[in-house]
Structure 1
Amino acid sequence: MAISSPQRKFKASIISHLFSLRRKTPIAAEMDCPPPPPPKDFKVSFNTNPQQTATKPLPIPQHEYITEKQALGFFDYSIPAAEPTLLLASSPPRNPPRVPLKGRVEISPRVTLTPEERAKRRLSAQRRREREEQEALREEQERQALRRRQKAEQERREREDEARRKAVVQEQLRQAAARKEKEERDAKACEERRLREIRERKQMEHERRLQYTRELEKWRHDQIQRAVSESSEKEEGRRRSAEERRIRIARLNEEVLQDGTSVALCGWVTIQTPDSMAWKRRYFKFDLPRAQMSLFRNHLDMARAMDVVNLDGRVDSFNEWYEGYEELEAIPHSFAVGFVDGQNWLVYADSADEKDKLLVLLSEAAGVIL
């Protein structure tokens, strides 16, 4: 076993001690350095107006303050009566001076603050906090004032809008009332005009009816007078014609009865019986002793009679058209033969002489006096 000299051991121990100190220097430096400061606070603005930006920081809450000893990492037992100084978390702590190593590591002593410096810092922080609080209070007051102004402006605009809306509504109501009044006035005038026209039309209609009534009464009076005069004239004419017919029939009666030939007892006649609505023209021939009248189709075919009428006691009367047979008025040389059973024959001859001859023969055959 080799034994080294003491000088060699001393040199080796110094070199190893230096290397060990150099290896431990970063750890010791980390232990000697204070803890890193916390991150800075972001600037927060209480202004609600997006156009206004806060230019000053807000007051820092109480729980974000740290003591000076916590920032420096040691406690000062030399001044027990002094209160710990509150520092802002955002302010960096003061680092102790570093001395470069020259052959060995030397730890610099910590820098301590005097009570006056701590009081100054505390007073400065308190004043800064007061300024920030005053600034925040002023900004809050400005913000409240701005909000009040904005609210007042909004209320003013709302009042103006409400006033404009009310004015528009009032104008619309006024126009509607004026329009309604005009419509009512026009409707009233139209109704009055319509009623006036109705009254005038009724008056004109009444006058026209009165005029028509007067004219109708006059016409009726004239018609009555004319009818009376005509009836009297007709009555006189019928009386004269009846008298003349009696004279003529009496003359024809003597001629026919004295003649007694077949030519005097024959002739043409047109008859309408109740059994038929048609007028039938027939050739007649009287048989006075038997009181019969035979009807033939024509004077050439007299071998067989189409109808033989027995007149004895069956004829009731001989009537003219004005004796209840107005339908015969338009037919000349016409008359009606009424039977006792209620039937009527309508008869007309070709001439007045033929009519008188037929009446004479019928009256002689039926035994009726004309």
Structure 2
Amino acid sequence: MPRPFSLLAHWFTFRRHPAPAGEVPSPQPPTPPPKDLNISFNTARYRSKPLPAPIDDHDEYVNEKVALRFSDVDTSQVQRFSSSTAPSSPPRDIHTLPRRPYVTHVAIPTAPLTPEETARRRLSAQRRREREEEEARREERARRELRKLQREEQERREREEEERRRALLQEHLRQAAARREEKEREEKRIEEERHEQIRQQKLMAHQRRLEYTRELDQWRQEHIQRAISSSSEKQEERRRSAEERRNRIAKLGESLLNNNNTAKAARGWVTIQTPESLAWKRRYYKFDLGRGQMLLYPNHVDTAHPIDIVELDNRTEGLHEWYEGFEELRAIPHSFAIQFVHGRSWFMYADAEEEKDRLLLWLSEAAGIIL
């Protein structure tokens, strides 16, 4: 049989389980707080207390397996979540409840609850849950509003940063465009100066060419005048020389042709170049005026058989000086050319002017032409 409860044990047990004012304690534990709720427990209340005076074993029954209930926590010290706290901030450290020493309790007999009491407790628990849910919804709305404000602030900062970056980019582009325009103007100025310099150089070169052309024309005119005058003088001199030669040949012909010893006079030395050979060959000649032939011998000793016979009668077109179209004879003194009717020409020169006059006389007599 259990022993009757003493007043001291009953009072001690009742003190450990105080009921909130105006609220009936619920047999079920309360809804746990949110995860991000900052809770601070007042541990001063649960510090170890000195054990009460020993109780006589005969006075009361001690239950050693009584556990600590959730209602033992003092919920009046819980700090509610503030709407100004950022949802992303880490929760504060929750102090661990100190281990409470085992205290012997006296089992209190409980009477069965009536239906009205059960309904009242259920209604009280439901209202408490509704208040907690409303508080959770209010806190969730506050968190959403805070997140919205933070997102708007972040977007505003991003817009400002984008505008600042765009303005900086526009400034850089403007400076680059200004530098490019300045560079283009400088290049254009340099190009214009270069073109102007080239134009001036071309103008000066054109003026020099005009001056040179005028000087060249003047020199050409002077040279032409000198050439004309010189040619006239040379022609006059040649005409006088040819006239003098004809006079000399005429006088020489009168003296030689009237002489009975014409065969001995119509001979001498001459150097000949024929079209068949470019070499000049010295030959001893004799004229046969009756046949109109010129007989050529290698020397004046061997005159029995001629090595070449030149037919002159009716085959000779004329006797010409170097200035009559035979420039290759200009450097050879006492030279002349014999042009035949078939277009061939022989070049000859004598040892002296008198020998040339005598040779021209015999050639004209043998060919039957007039000088």
Q: TM-score, normalised by structure 1?
A: 0.65
1:356/1:184 Cα in 2 relative to 1: closer, same or farther (>3 Å)? same
Deviation by residue 1:294-321 (Cα, 9 ceiling, x = unmatched): 2334445545433211101111111112
Q: Is the 8 A contact 1:333 1:352 kept in 2?
A: yes
Aligned match of 2:234: 234
Query: Equivalents in 2 of 1:272, 1:204: separation in Å?
Result: 58
> Is residue 260 of structure 1 aligned with residue 262 of structure 2?
yes
SS at match of 2:124: helix
Query: 1:351 Cα deviation (Å)?
Result: 3.0
Aligned match of 2:282: 282
Letter in 2 for 1:223: H
Query: Equivalents in 1 of 2:303, 2:178: separation in Å?
Result: 105
Letter in 2 for 1:316: E
SS at match of 2:339: strand
> Is residue 358 of structure 1 aligned with residue 354 of structure 2?
no
Tell which has more relative contact order, 1 or 2 (C-alpha 8 A, sep 6+).
Answer: 2
Aligned match of 2:339: 338
Deviation by residue 1:196-251 (Cα, 9 ceiling, x = unmatched): 22321232132122212211221122112101210121122112211221232234
Aligned pairs, number: 284
SS at match of 1:168: helix
Query: Equivalents in 2 of 1:130, 1:54: separation in Å?
Result: 24
Aligned match of 1:319: 320
Query: 1:50 Cα deviation (Å)?
Result: 4.4
Query: 1:128 Cα deviation (Å)?
Result: 5.5
1:116/1:208 Cα in 2 relative to 1: closer, same or farther (>3 Å)? same
1:344/1:155 Cα in 2 relative to 1: closer, same or farther (>3 Å)? same
Q: Is the 8 A contact 1:336 1:345 kept in 2?
A: yes
Query: 1:118 Cα deviation (Å)?
Result: 5.5
Q: Is the 8 A contact 1:271 1:348 kept in 2?
A: no
Aligned match of 2:123: 122
Deviation by residue 1:253-307 (Cα, 9 ceiling, x = unmatched): 345543535475121223232x44x133130412222211123344455454332
Query: Equivalents in 2 of 1:165, 1:191: separation in Å?
Result: 38
Query: 1:368 Cα deviation (Å)?
Result: 1.0
Query: Equivalents in 1 of 2:279, 2:184: separation in Å?
Result: 76
Aligned match of 1:51: 89
1:351/1:115 Cα in 2 relative to 1: closer, same or farther (>3 Å)? farther
Letter in 2 for 1:146: L
Aligned match of 2:248: 248
Query: Equivalents in 2 of 1:55, 1:130: separation in Å?
Result: 26
Runs (5+) with no aligned partner, structure 1: 1-36, 57-96, 100-107
1:164/1:350 Cα in 2 relative to 1: closer, same or farther (>3 Å)? farther
Aligned match of 1:148: 148
Letter in 2 for 1:52: P
Runs (5+) with no aligned partner, structure 2: 1-27, 38-84, 95-105
Letter in 1 for 2:236: E
Aligned match of 2:78: none
Q: Is the 8 A contact 1:271 1:282 kept in 2?
A: no
Letter in 2 for 1:308: I
Query: Equivalents in 2 of 1:298, 1:186: separation in Å?
Result: 93
Aligned match of 1:4: none
1:39-118 aligned at under 5 Å gives the runs 44=35, 49-53=87-91, 111-112=112-113, 115=116
SS at match of 2:370: coil
Relative to its length, the structure with more helix (as a share) is 1
Query: Equivalents in 1 of 2:311, 2:327: separation in Å?
Result: 27
Q: Is the 8 A contact 2:272 2:346 kept in 1?
A: no
4+ aligned runs moved over 6 Å, structure 1: none
Query: Equivalents in 2 of 1:253, 1:128: separation in Å?
Result: 173
Letter in 2 for 1:244: E
1:266/1:125 Cα in 2 relative to 1: closer, same or farther (>3 Å)? same
Query: Equivalents in 2 of 1:224, 1:350: separation in Å?
Result: 36
Query: 1:344 Cα deviation (Å)?
Result: 2.3
Query: Equivalents in 2 of 1:51, 1:109: separation in Å?
Result: 46
Q: Is the 8 A contact 1:282 1:295 kept in 2?
A: no
Query: 1:42 Cα deviation (Å)?
Result: 9.1
Query: 1:127 Cα deviation (Å)?
Result: 3.6
Residue identity over aligned pairs, in percent, reads 49
